[in-house]
Amino acid sequence: EVRWASCNIFSTQDHAAAAIAVGPNGTPENPQGVPVFAWKGETLEEYWWCTEQALTWPNAATGGPNMILDDGGDATLLVHKGVEFEKAGSAPDPSTADSEEFAQILTLLNRTLGENPQKWTQ
């Protein structure tokens, strides 16, 4: 099984992402392809939400992927930071971040760890 997110907020070609999501046997109303979490022009918040969705397997017994193919490194960063802060018991406050992007990551990790304290090591 595959789930897909972009590695850049400007790189997604919407028509290609839609074709992958619909798949060869689906329709726009009934997609049968690969779940795609990406669109051109995502905000930073949307980008990190999409990355989280690609790493979240709602119907899997393990709760997550068994392999990550990550050409940009962001999904890997998210998993590593998730594990780090899970082991620490919490993520830092987003207001302490040194960039807007890292603040988004900390916001996401605080939320996910609040929802599931073992999300990143399942």
What are the chain's domains? 4-121 (3.40.50.1480)
- What is the rounded average pLDDT of the residues 77-82? 97
Q: pTM for the whole thing? A: 0.91
State the number of CA atoms in the 13 A half-sphere of 60 facing the CB: 14
37-78 pLDDT, tens digit per residue, is 999 999 999 999 999 999 998 877 766 778 889 988 999 999
82-116 pLDDT, tens digit per residue, is 999 999 999 999 999 999 999 999 999 999 999 99
Q: Residues, the chain, total? A: 122
The answer, yes or no, to whether residue 23 has pLDDT greater than 90, is: yes
Which residues, at least 6 apart from 32, have a Cβ–Cβ distance to it below 8 Å?
22, 23, 24, 25, 26
Write down the pLDDT at residue 63. Answer: 65
